[in-house]
Amino acid sequence: MNTNNREIERKFLVAKLPEGLENYRHFNIKQGYISTDPTIRLRQRDDEYILTVKGAAHANGLDRAEFELPLSKEQFEKLWDKVETGTIDKKRYIIPLDDAHTAELDIYSGVLDGFMNVEVEFSSLKDAVLFDAPSWFGAEVTEDRRYSNASLVKYGIPVK
């Protein structure tokens, strides 16, 4: 099934981990990039395989076009040979915030070991602008491209 979406999200660093982290649903993620400009990403999330193409962020920095295509394990493995960057390994926790919002907390391992960030996706730009981040969120880095996964895999964790 092909999906063609508009992704509206805000990204933050993590000030402190939320309580009871082990109680939240989580996934192991491995990803690499066939290209970082344009963004063409391969991702394995547990036993799920996905090819993603992302458009450039709009001027507001919050939204961009995104196309996802599910892959078979065999397709993923053939395409994985085309990855031009290093790889990202992380554990993603799905943390409900309220009736409308869910945080996706990523804790990285491997070359980005110890780095953490959190993203929240929104149904509209208005909703994104009005969102009040919980106290465990750190500094917002939505518009700082150095914190995109494509940049992290190429250049490492930014020096503040």
**Residue 147 bears catalytic tag:** no
Whole-number Å distance between alpha carbons of 141 and 143: 6
- For residue 71, the Cα-to-chain-centroid distance in whole angstroms is 18
| Strand 25-36 relative to strand 63-71, pairing | unpaired
Whole-number Å distance between alpha carbons of 86 and 141: 22
Select which of 24, 33, 108, 147 is catalytic.
Answer: 33
Containing 7, the helix (H) or strand (E) segment is strand 3-14
The two structure tokens encoding residue 52? 């993603």
The two structure tokens encoding residue 55? 């458009």
C-alpha distances out from residue 48 to 6, 30, 64, 106, 107, Å: 21, 11, 23, 17, 19
Which phi and psi angles does 38 have, rounded to 5°?
A: -75, 165
Whole-number Å distance between alpha carbons of 155 and 133: 27
Catalytic residues: 33
